[in-house]
Amino acid sequence: MGGTAPPGGGDRWAMEARGLGKRYGRKWALRDCSFRLPAGAICGLVGSNGAGKSTLLSLAARLTRPTTGGLSLFGTAVTEDEVLARCAYLAQDKPLFPRFTVEETLRMGAELNPRWDRAVAERIVRSGPVPMGDRVGTLSGGQRSRLALALAFGKRPELLLLDEPMAELDPLSQHEIAGLLMAEAAEQGTTVLMSSHQLADVATMCDHLLAVADGRVRLAGAIDELLDAHRLVTGAYLVDGVPPEIARHTVVESRTTGRQFTALIRRQGPVEGDWRATEPSLEEVLLGYLRSPGTPPLLTADAQVTDEHEGEVAA
């Protein structure tokens, strides 16, 4: 596990939140969040509307200050100015200056970023193809997204924060932008944290998952591990309530239809008895956790914040 993470020091964790909370007025948008995201991960950030996805991304992008707790990127607190150069952020509506030309937009990237990589940005724009002389206001949604991504990747970020990058795009553009995103992230070794409502996108693009509900973390870790920790069990409905063999495990969600009992469980050892146990899909696990607020959250070993020092973790 954690094979993608480069070894050593604070750089092992692209993001680490400790007791992170954000309150708007009286409402907590994010509350007591502690998790880690290993460097190199492509992480999907999922949850219902208002669950705190955008708030988390805003906190990481320094658009918002946390009310409680702390967030660090690659071992540096997000309050330090230097993290700005290390991460790129793409807001959901992909704001750009409509009266700038494409060329001027790229120049802005060059002017505002000391590590600007013009070749990367121009390659992304030209493979669009997005004409350099066009005004941004005249571009299509797909072209705008491409330009915004060019700006983000031209910055050569170590961490890329994307707020619903595929929303409002037609299917063709979605496919194109997803391909572009994956290719560039792989080439540059960028850690990506992207929020999405499209579970299919998350399943195909991401290797990590961070699920939030009601401002709290519900699931965090490598998707493989998360799925492996769960079983979907099916069997005959013989006794009232949850059968004892199943109750040994953590039952995330269960239902009975006629004489059949189905449950999503978090395994505590092997499943015994006359049950058919299959590995659930990402969607089944995710929906199970979002629908059952009572189930304790699950963070895989990689995603848990430990109080030990970095040296011990690396060893």
Partner 1 sequence: MSATVTTGTGNEATGEGGKQPPRVLRGMAWLVWRQHRVAFLACLLLTAAGVANMLWERAATRDFLKNPRPGALAVDVAGLFANSSYDSAYQDGAWLVTCLPLAVGVFLGAPLIAGDLERGTLKLVTTQSMTRRHWLTVKVAAAALVTLVCSVALSAVYTWWWRPAHDLVNTGRWTDGVVFDTTGPMPVAMALLNLAVGIAAGVLVRRVLPAMALTFAFGFFVLGWLWDGVRLLPFTPRVITNPVEQGQPPVPEGGARFDNWTVDAHGGLHGFGTCFNEHTPADCRTNQGIVAERLDYFGFDQMNTMQWVDAGILLAVTVLIAGLTLGWVRKRSL
313 binds partner 1 (CB under 8 A): no
Nearer to partner 1, 161 or 251 (CB): 161
HEC string of 19-62 equals: EEEEEECCEEEEEEEEEEEECCCEEEEECCCCCCHHHHHHHHCC
62 binds partner 1 (CB under 8 A): yes
123 binds partner 1 (CB under 8 A): yes
d(CA 198, CA 70): 29
Nearest CA-CA partner of 261 in 284, 282, 240? 240
d(CA 118, CA 137): 22
**Residue 254 CB, nearest distance to partner 1 (Å)?**
40
207 binds partner 1 (CB under 8 A): no
Tell me which DSSP letter residue 164 carries: S
188 binds partner 1 (CB under 8 A): no
Q: Identify the bridge partners of residue 73 per DSSP, sorted by sequence position.
A: 15, 76
Nearer to partner 1, 115 or 291 (CB): 115
What's the start-to-end Cα distance of the chain, in Å? 14
Nearer to partner 1, 162 or 210 (CB): 162
Contact segment (CB under 8 A) with partner 1 among 77-85, 249-257, 270-278, 298-306 equals: 77-85
Residues numbered 126-185 forming contacts with partner 1, rule: CB under 8 A: 126-127, 131-134, 151, 155
111 binds partner 1 (CB under 8 A): yes
Put residue 180 in one of left, alpha, beta given phi > 0 → left and psi -120 to 50 → alpha.
alpha
79 binds partner 1 (CB under 8 A): no
Q: What are phi and psi of 172, to 5 degrees?
A: -65, -45
Binding site for partner 1 (CB under 8 A): 24, 58, 61-65, 81, 84-85, 88-89, 91, 93, 95-98, 100-101, 103-104, 107-109, 111-115, 119, 122-123, 126-127, 131-134, 151, 155
